[in-house]
Structure 1
Amino acid sequence: MITPTSSAATTNAVSGASDGSQRSALTSDFETFLRMLTVQARNQDPLEPLDSSEYAAQLAQFSMVEQQVKANELLSDLALTLGAVNLNQLASWVGMDVQVAASFRFDERPVPIFANAAPEANRAELVIRNDQDVVVDRIAVPVNNSEFEWAGVDATGNAYPAGTYSATLASFKGDKLLTEAPATVFSRVVEAQVGEGKIMLKLDSGVEVSADNVTQIRTGA
């Protein structure tokens, strides 16, 4: 789903109407100026013809008005083209899997998780929280690994319920906690929209993230 924000859509509509109104007014002025110049040339006194320098000045004004009309039309066409490009850019995100540090959707299948331990750490734990920010699982992982897999089962082998979870990687040196950094997970983009000059992506977990925070993209399976 591609959703331009209401403010952006309203701005585009107002801008389009304004551009059309301005171009229409400018074209009307141009046609009026052309008719006046033609009538002036047709009805000038043969005994006192229009001064050549004045006539040249009016022709120059005519040329300037003509060029302004053409420039306005080109700018309007360019604005329409840029709008189409923005929509194409939004459409390219939908259906893609993006790697980002955000909550993810667990549907009772193993979830690949990516994170790096602190350089000075000698042990690390993958920490899983539910949508209430309650820790539901802690898994000891090698400090040299950067890719892990959460099976989504507890110590007795029972699967955790389907839902939204988040992951962090806690780095320790001995018993001292050094850092607990958000881990990244691939999630499916279900909606894209433009707001405040940036692209916002809605993931299948219901979370919205900025496209600027995406670290990797792959084709959705």
Structure 2
Amino acid sequence: MLTTQIKNQDPLNPMEGTEFAVQLATFSGVEQQVQTNQLLAQLLQGSNGGELGQLSNWIGREVRTSAPVWFDHSPLTLQIDSLADADKVALVTLDAQGNEVLREDIGTGSGEVDWQGKRANGDLLPEGLYSFRLEATKDGKVISTRDVEAYSRVSGVEMTKDGARLILAGGGWATVDEVTALRE
């Protein structure tokens, strides 16, 4: 609209600079209001509004997810589901960049375990976001690799263009699809 106005402006009677600045500010304000209205409509539309309200009840609770979780030197609860055919299972810890930082032989059992984040010499890994995977072997050959889920506290919920996202302690996040359990 502004471009059309400038093209059709009378060169013998140009618009004053202050009028031009006022019109620019008005156009900017209208554009921001339109975007705000669109975002509000998205929140109230369909299940998103209800989903946001429902997920807000998750704040303060813990979710189990394979997304990276924050380690602050407090133990993390991991869900270990190993394979019956494996003769050896390793828990592989990955940092936020996906680099392997720790590998621990954990046996072939299943269930919840408290991960301490300690190296073999007893030193703790630095605080940060970590993800985990199991590497199952039989007769020295890797037969399976799978993500390991960990519990993390939900500190907030936000709506994105792709749907709801849970904000986890320490700045991590997970989509609702990545959550497999919820606990107090």
TM-score, normalised relative to structure 1: 0.58
Determine if contact 2:164/2:175 at 8 Å carries over to the other structure: yes
> Does 1:102 find its partner at 2:67?
yes
Greater Rg, structure 1 or structure 2?
A: 1
Pick from 115, 122, 127 the counterpart of residue 87 of structure 2.
122
1:8 and 1:194 in contact (8 A); partners too: no
Alignment partner for residue 89 of structure 1, among 30, 51, 54?
54
Of the three residues 7, 11, 17, the one matched with 2:38 is 11
**Counterpart of 2:121 in 1: which secondary structure?**
coil
Kindly indicate which of the two structures has a greater share of residues assigned to strand.
Answer: 2
Whole-Å separation in 2 of the counterparts to 1:138 and 1:197: 34
Select which of 173, 176, 180 maps to 2:145.
Answer: 180
Aligned length: 149
Matches of 1:86 and 1:116 in 2, distance apart? 30
Is residue 100–residue 186 contact of structure 1 (8 Å, CA) maintained in 2?
Answer: yes
Name the aligned partner's letter for residue 127 of structure 1. V
> Match of 2:124, SS?
coil
Do 1:115 and 1:146's aligned partners in 2 also have CA atoms closer than 8 Å? yes
Structural RMSD (CA) = 2.7
Query: 1:137 and 2:164 equivalent?
Result: no
Q: Which string of whole-angstrom CA distances, capped at 9 and with x for unpartnered residues, describes residues 5-57 of structure 1?
A: xx996326469xxxxxxxxxxxxxxxxxxxxxxxxxxxxxxxxxxxxxxxxxx
Task: Tell me if 1:202 matches 2:175.
Answer: no
Deviates more, 1:189-198 or 1:108-117: 189-198
Provide closer, same or farther for how the CA distance between residues 198 and 119 of structure 1 changes in structure 2, counting only shifts above 3 A: farther
Structure 1 unaligned spans of 5+: 1-6, 16-78
| Cα distance between partner residues in 1 of 2:54 and 2:91 | 35
The alpha-carbon distance between structure 1 residues 142 and 9, as it changes in their structure 2 partners (threshold 3 A), is farther
1:160-171 paired onto structure 2 within 5 Å? 160-171=125-136
Deviations 1:55-112 (A, max 9, x none): xxxxxxxxxxxxxxxxxxxxxxxx79x8874453132122221001111111112222
Higher helix proportion: 1
Distance 1:155-1:143 versus aligned 2 partners, 3 A rule: same
Q: 1:130: Cα distance to partner?
A: 1.7
Q: What amino acid maps onto 2:93 in structure 1?
A: I
Which of the numbers 106, 112, 122 marks the counterpart of 2:77? 112
User: Partner of 1:183: helix, strand, or coil?
Assistant: strand
Structure-1 separation of matches of 2:110 and 2:140: 20
Query: Does residue 151 of structure 1 match 2:116?
Result: yes
Calculate percent identity across the aligned residue pairs.
Answer: 26
Q: Is the CA contact 2:164–2:176 (under 8 Å) kept in the aligned structure 1?
A: yes
> Partner residue of 2:31?
none
Structure 2, gaps ≥5 residues long: 1-33
Query: Does the 8 A contact of 1:90 with 1:193 survive in 2?
Result: no
Question: Are residues 120 and 196 of structure 1, via their aligned partners in 2, closer, same or farther at CA, if it must alter by over 3 Å?
Answer: same
User: Quick one: which amino acid aligns to residue 154 of structure 1?
Assistant: R
Amino acid across the alignment from 1:206: G
Match of 1:120, SS state, is coil
Retained in 1: the 8 A contact 2:52–2:157? no
